Chains A and B, each alone.
Chain A
């Protein structure tokens, strides 16, 4: 039963990933469609950022991760390299978690 679950869910997930790549180029050339598809990852990733920072399951949470994201924002504003942004976020989160 577990194997069936693993395989069906995996095949389904793969097909969802592949689906987007299969959309014909002709469809994507329309200016309005191009606008939507350009904005799509922006909206999705922005949603992902706040969700991964401010929620646990279906609850809002405000914890050490918020401090981490704030540190990342400061680092981004200071034009820090990518790696510094990520390390600053992790270190701040770890530190705040340790202190709280």
Chain B
């Protein structure tokens, strides 16, 4: 079975980008590990969060509440609010991934910002699936490795802020989203989502601004008249 050269190059590029995302995001896990232990969790509990929760925003929010002396109920609810956007990602990813049974249960754990951005950034179903799994698996490995190392005390060695790593995720999402913005009225929706989110930031709890952006997309999608051509690639290979 021979694979055309163009396809091979495209696949290699997807895997390389996936590893790049995993490395830059994984660097954050070092500080998550350190922050987790500082918040009063044990090393095992901090690592368990990275394995079981595997959603950076939710994890940082949860240990942030604990560190601030907040109770279990508020820690759990802020984590869930921040995790709620993943449900919307899943709806978009489902037809691309075409997973069933045990595969679907496994894929569920990988439905996060990074995998979604990588997956929707690809042109064919084959590359979308590769992007999802390559990003999910490599990020899972590095995120958990980074957490453990950070929790064991090495977090202080690498300050992601000094290296400008906090700009990595927005830059990566921008690069992945950019080609999509030209298609079928996506640009106004992206701008609307960004504006709605920023306007809401000072007024509503963490996690909610992003969900309001989803509402903006739903309204635009429901009432927009322009036919959308983007997405006929969700079906078939």
Contacts and interface: CB of A to CB of B under 8 A. Distances in A.
The answer on A and B forming one complex is yes
Interface string B216-229: 11101110100010
B214 A93 contact: no
Interface residues of A, number: 73
A100 interface: no
B171 A18 contact: no
Nearest to B190: A46
Contacts, number: 312
Interface in B42-88: 42, 45, 48-49, 52-55, 58, 62, 66, 72, 75-76, 79-80, 83-88
Most B Cβ at <10 Å: residue of A5, A11, A46, A52: A46
B170 A65 contact: yes
B197 A50 contact: yes
Interface residues of B, number: 103
B141 interface: no
A14 B109 contact: yes
A23 B94 contact: yes
Contacts of B177: 42, 45-46, 49
A38 B191 contact: no
A44 to B, nearest CB: 5
Contacts of A17: 55, 83, 86-87, 89-90, 108-112
B194 A49 contact: yes
Contacts of B171: 68-69, 71-72, 85-86, 88-90
Contacts of B111: 17-18, 20-21
Interface in A32-86: 32, 34-55, 57-60, 64-65, 68-69, 71-73, 75-76, 82-83, 85-86
23 contacts: A2-B42, A2-B45, A8-B72, A9-B58, A9-B62, A9-B80, A13-B79, A14-B52, A17-B83, A20-B111, A21-B111, A28-B91, A32-B222, A38-B230, A41-B120, A42-B189, A45-B177, A48-B197, A51-B209, A51-B210, A72-B171, A73-B174, A90-B163
Interface of A: 1-14, 16-23, 25, 28, 32, 34-55, 57-60, 64-65, 68-69, 71-73, 75-76, 82-83, 85-86, 88-95, 97
